[in-house]
Structures are given as C-alpha cells and as structure tokens.
Amino acid sequence: MAQEAQAQTLQATALVHEVYLKLSPGEQQWEGRKHFFCAAAESMRRILIDRARFRKAVRHGGELQRTELADDLIAVPSAKDDEILAIHEILDRFALIEPRKAEVVKLRYFVGMTIDEAAEALGISTPTAKRDWIFARAWLFRELKRED
C-alpha cells in the first residue's frame, strides 16, 4: 500500500476487512497457506478492480479531478484507475499462459508480500519466485506498452 496515490479513500484496514467478509461467509476450509493467500490475493484484486471501475464511472465523478481531503487517505495500487484496469485485463490473459507466475504477481502487487513470503505461500523456492517475478514484470510491462 506504500506505492499508492492519494486519490482513494480505501484504507488498508478496510480492505482487509472487506477481504475477510468475502472469504468467511462459507466458512471454507483452507487446504493450506498457499490456498488461503491465493484466495485472499484474488479477493483483494477484485475489490480494488471494482473500486477502480466505480471511481471511473461518469455518474460517480470519473471525469472530475480528485482532491485530497485528509492525510491518511490510501488509494488503489495505481495512481490511475485506467492503469489498474489495464493491469487487471493483462493479468487475466497472463494467468491463462503462466498461472503460477500470475499468482506471484497477485501476491506481490495486490497483497504486498515480499518475494520470500510469496514463495513460501505458493510452496516454491525463493529463486523460482524471483525468476517468476522478473519474467512476469517484463511480460506485463511489454503488454502495457503494446496497449498504449
């Protein structure tokens, strides 16, 4: 959340609470840390994407310039809603090609895990997670540039 812009009112605690509410209704039994963190990352991603789409909507002031009202405001991981929506679409395509690498991206980008934490959550080695992260970043960057 440290890389976030000031235009969003979503606080880190509120995001975690929303994720908890989305994950708890069924009282699911998690198959392990990997299963839990992957579900949490996907849930965070969906919340942030929905919030970005909501903010972009014209009826919600999507074309108006936002102004910071308080010092403790936290935003989605991208300063621009267009960018986070583009990353969302590209990440969906990437997940079809390289599912494990896409999970590393979700854990790093949406959950904020370190390489070591993501590797442990996915049950892979740290060097493998580093290679996956480097490859995924390069692939996503190339696809973002291509869409521009």
Q: In the predicted model, is pLDDT for residue 73 greater than 50?
A: no
Q: What is the pTM of this model?
A: 0.55
- b/e string for 123-146 if b means 16 or more Cβ within 10 A? ebeeeebeebbeebeebbeebeee
CA–CA separation, 20 and 15 (whole Å): 9
Average pLDDT, the chain: 77
pLDDT tens-digit series, residues 36-55: 888 888 888 888 888 888 77
Cβ(106)–Cβ(38) below 8 Å? yes
Between residues 58 and 119, which one has the greater pLDDT?
119
Measuring CA to CA, how many Å separate 19 from each of 5, 95, 123, 130, 138?
A: 21, 21, 22, 26, 29
Domain boundaries, the chain: 12-147
In this predicted structure, what is the pLDDT of residue 62?
52
In this predicted structure, what is the pLDDT of residue 56?
75
In this predicted structure, what is the pLDDT of residue 45?
85
- DSSP reduced 3-state for 9: coil
